[in-house]
Chain A
Amino acid sequence: MSSHAKPGPIPEPVGEVLGQSVPKPDAREKVTGRAVYTDDLRVPGMLHGALLGSPHPHARILSYDTSRARALPGVRAVLTAEDLPPNDIGAVIKDQPLLARGKVRYAGEPVAAVAAVDLPTARRALELIDIRYEVLPAVFDAEEALRPDAPGIHAPRGTAHPNAASYIRLVEGEPDPAWAQCDVIIEDVYETPAQQHIYLEPCSTLAEVDPDSGKITLHTSTQTAFRVQAITAEALGVPMSRVRVLVPRVGGAFGGKVESTNQPITAALALAAGAPVRLTFSRTDDIRMMRSRHAARIHMRTGATRDGRILARQVRIHFDTGAYADDGPFVANIGSYFARGPYRIPHVDVECWCVYTNKLRAGAFRGFGNPQIHFASEVQVDRVAEAIGMDPIELRLRNALETGEKWLGGAPVESGTLRACLERAREVSDWHRRRERPPAAPGKRRGIGVAAVSHVSGLLGSSATVRLNEDGTVTVNTGAVDTGQGSDVALAQVAAGALGLSLEQLNFSRPDTDTSPYDWCSGGTRTTFTVGRVITQACEQVREQLFEHASAILQRPVRQLELRPGGFVGVRGEPGASVSFGAIAGRALYVEGGPIIASARYLFPAWQLDTRRTQVEGLPFMGNGFFVFAAQVAEVEVDELTGHVEVLEAWSVHDVGRAINPAATEGQVQGGFVQGLGYALTEELVWKDGHLVNPTMGGYKVPGVLDVPAAIHAVLLEHPFGPGPFGAKGIGEVGLVGVAPAICNAIRHATGANVRRIPATGERVLRALMAREEGGAKASDA
Chain B
Amino acid sequence: MSDKVSVSLTINGAEHALTVAPERTLLDVLREDVRATGTRRGCDEGSCGACTVLVDGVPVLSCLSLAVTLPGRAITTIEGVRNGAELHPVQRALVLHGAVQCGFCMPGIVLSAKALLERNPSPTVEDVRQALGGNVCRCSGYTRVVEAIASLGGRP
Interface of A with B (CB < 8 Å)?
21, 23-24, 26-37, 39-40, 42, 120, 197-202, 249-254, 280, 282-284, 483-486, 661, 663-664, 666-667, 669-675, 696-698, 702, 704-706, 708, 710-712, 714
Q: Which of B43, B98, B101 contacts A21 (CB 8 A)?
A: B98
Q: Is A198 a contact partner of B138 (Cβ separation < 8 A)?
A: yes
Binds A, one of B3-11, B54-62, B66-74, B142-150: B142-150
Q: How many Å lie between the Cα of A32 and that of B92 in the bound state?
A: 10
Q: How many Å lie between the Cα of A611 and that of B87 in the bound state?
A: 60
Shortest distance between the CB of A208 and any CB in chain B (Å): 19
Interface presence of B22 (CB below 8 A): no
Nearest residue in A to B38 (C-beta to C-beta)? A33
Closest 4 CB pairs of A and B: A33-B38, A484-B102, A30-B103, A663-B98
Q: Which residues of A contact B143 (CB under 8 A)?
A: 666-667, 670, 710-712, 714
Shortest distance between the CB of B83 and any CB in chain A (Å): 11
Most B Cβ at <10 Å: residue of A21, A254, A672, A697: A697
Q: Is A27 a contact partner of B102 (Cβ separation < 8 A)?
A: no
Q: Is A252 a contact partner of B139 (Cβ separation < 8 A)?
A: yes
Nearest residue in B to A32 (C-beta to C-beta)? B82
Q: Which residues of A contact B130 (CB under 8 A)?
A: 706
Q: How many Å lie between the Cα of A181 and that of B137 in the bound state?
A: 50
Q: Is A31 a contact partner of B106 (Cβ separation < 8 A)?
A: yes
Q: Which residues of B contact A37 (CB under 8 A)?
A: 40, 104
Q: How many Å lie between the Cα of A31 and that of B46 in the bound state?
A: 21
Further 7 A-B residue pairs, CB within 8 A, beyond A30-B102, A42-B35: A24-B95, A32-B82, A33-B78, A282-B44, A484-B102, A485-B139, A667-B141
Q: How many Å lie between the Cα of A671 and that of B101 in the bound state?
A: 9
Q: Is A674 a contact partner of B102 (Cβ separation < 8 A)?
A: no
Q: How many Å lie between the Cα of A673 and that of B107 in the bound state?
A: 23
Nearest residue in A to B147 (C-beta to C-beta)? A710
Q: How many Å lie between the Cα of A708 and that of B139 in the bound state?
A: 13
B93-105 interface mask toward A, CB cutoff 8 Å, 1 = contact, 0 = none? 0111111111111
> In which size bucket is the chain B interface?
35 or more
- Interface residues in B103-140 by Cβ distance below 8 A to A read 103-107, 110, 125, 129-130, 132-140
- Provide the main secondary structure of the chain B interface: loop
Q: Is A697 a contact partner of B48 (Cβ separation < 8 A)?
A: yes
Interface presence of B15 (CB below 8 A): no
Nearest residue in A to B21 (C-beta to C-beta)? A120
Q: Is B95 a contact partner of A31 (Cβ separation < 8 A)?
A: yes
Q: Which residues of A contact B102 (CB under 8 A)?
A: 30, 199-201, 249-253, 483-484
Nearest residue in B to A201 (C-beta to C-beta)? B104
Shortest distance between the CB of B92 and any CB in chain A (Å): 8
Most A Cβ at <10 Å: residue of B91, B95, B96, B102: B102
Q: Is B100 a contact partner of A674 (Cβ separation < 8 A)?
A: no
Q: Is B39 a contact partner of A33 (Cβ separation < 8 A)?
A: yes
Q: How many Å lie between the Cα of A21 and that of B100 in the bound state?
A: 13
Interface presence of B151 (CB below 8 A): no
Q: How many Å lie between the Cα of A33 and that of B53 in the bound state?
A: 12
Q: Which residues of B contact A24 (CB under 8 A)?
A: 95, 98, 100
Known contacts A27-B100, A33-B38, A202-B42: A712-B141 contact under CB 8 Å: yes
Known contacts A27-B100, A670-B141, A697-B47: A33-B77 contact under CB 8 Å: yes
Known contacts A664-B98, A673-B141: A200-B44 contact under CB 8 Å: no
Q: How many Å lie between the Cα of A451 and that of B145 in the bound state?
A: 26
Shortest distance between the CB of A256 and any CB in chain B (Å): 10
Q: Is B110 a contact partner of A31 (Cβ separation < 8 A)?
A: yes
Q: Is A708 a contact partner of B141 (Cβ separation < 8 A)?
A: yes
Q: Which residues of A contact B94 (CB under 8 A)?
A: 27, 31
Nearest residue in B to A699 (C-beta to C-beta)? B47
Q: How many Å lie between the Cα of A35 and that of B95 in the bound state?
A: 14
Q: Is A671 a contact partner of B42 (Cβ separation < 8 A)?
A: no
Q: Is B125 a contact partner of A670 (Cβ separation < 8 A)?
A: no
Nearest residue in A to B129 (C-beta to C-beta)? A705
Q: How many Å lie between the Cα of A704 and that of B47 in the bound state?
A: 10
Known contacts A21-B98, A704-B134: A697-B43 contact under CB 8 Å: yes
Q: Which residues of A contact B1 (CB under 8 A)?
A: 120
Nearest residue in B to A21 (C-beta to C-beta)? B98
Known contacts A27-B94, A200-B40: A33-B47 contact under CB 8 Å: no
Q: Is B146 a contact partner of A200 (Cβ separation < 8 A)?
A: no
Shortest distance between the CB of A280 and any CB in chain B (Å): 8
Q: Is A696 a contact partner of B47 (Cβ separation < 8 A)?
A: yes
Nearest residue in A to B104 (C-beta to C-beta)? A251
Q: Is A252 a contact partner of B43 (Cβ separation < 8 A)?
A: no
Q: How many Å lie between the Cα of A708 and that of B142 in the bound state?
A: 8
Q: Is B42 a contact partner of A23 (Cβ separation < 8 A)?
A: no
Shortest distance between the CB of A270 and any CB in chain B (Å): 20
Q: Which of B77, B79, B90, B139 contacts A667 (CB 8 A)?
A: B139
Q: Which of B35, B43, B87, B98 contacts A32 (CB 8 A)?
A: B87
22 contacts between A and B (CB under 8 A): A28-B87, A28-B91, A33-B36, A33-B77, A34-B38, A35-B103, A37-B104, A200-B105, A252-B138, A283-B44, A484-B104, A666-B143, A667-B101, A671-B101, A704-B132, A704-B134, A705-B142, A705-B145, A706-B129, A706-B130, A710-B129, A712-B141
